[in-house]
Amino acid sequence: MTYSANNANPQSLRIDAQSPKLSVDHIDHQDASILLDGSVAGLNAVLLDLVAIVGQDNNSHTAPILEIQFGDICTLTSAQEIQGNAFLSVAVLLPRHDKADCSSVGAMKYSTLLGKDGDWECLWHADKGHHVLVHNIAINSISDECGIMDAIIESAEQATLWFAVHCGGSVAKA
C-alpha cells in the first residue's frame, strides 16, 4: 500500500499491507538518530528531511510541516513546544460533513477511542465544515523517523475510528 505525500513523488512512503511496517526511502538513519534528541530543533531537522524526501515545498513555513494524504484524510505534522515540553503535533483533517457537534464534552466522551498515548484535541473548522483532531505526542517517546511515521499513521487511524463513531461517517482509504 502506498500513501502519497504529493503527486511528484508518490512512492516515497510505503506500507506493506501484510505487515504494517513503514519504509521511508533515502533517510540516513545515523543522522536521524542523532537529530532526534528529544528537542524541538532535532525534530524539526528530521521533519525537514522528510519534507524534502517527499518533494513538498516548505518555503512558506517558518518550521517544517509534513503533509500526507490518506484517502479522504489529510495529516499535517510539525514540532511543537507546549509548556517547555517538545511534542510531535499531528493535525488530522477529517472529511467534510454537516455534523458540527464537537463540544469538549462530546470529544471527551469519545476520547477513549483515541488511544492512550499523547493528548488529543477536537476542533471544528467552521469555514470548511469538517473536524480537525490534533494529536500531540511527547517526542521523547519517538526514537527515529519510522517512529514519526508510525505516529502519523496511528493518529490517522485513530481519528478515522473517532469519526466513524462520533459522526457516523466513513472514510475512503488510499
pLDDT band at 62; cut points 50, 70, 90:
confident
pLDDT at 119 over 80: yes
Over the stretch 25-49, which tens digit does the pLDDT of each residue have? Answer: 444 444 555 568 888 888 998 998 8
Could you tell me the pTM of the whole model? 0.74
Q: What is the pLDDT of residue 29?
A: 46
Pairing of strands 22-24, 66-70: unpaired
C-alpha neighbours within 13 Å on the C-beta side of residue 119: 11
Domains of the chain in start order, with CATH, are 2-167 (3.30.1460)
Can you name the residues that pair with 92 across neighbouring β-strands? 75, 133
pLDDT top residue among 17 and 97: 97
Q: What is the pLDDT of residue 168?
A: 72
User: How far apart, in Å, are the Cα atoms of 61 and each of 46, 56, 78?
Assistant: 15, 11, 11
**Dist. CA 17–CA 164, nearest whole Å:** 22
Please give the mean pLDDT across all residues of the chain. 74
Find out whether 28 and 45 touch, Cβ atoms under 8 Å.
no
C-alpha cell at 97: 460533513
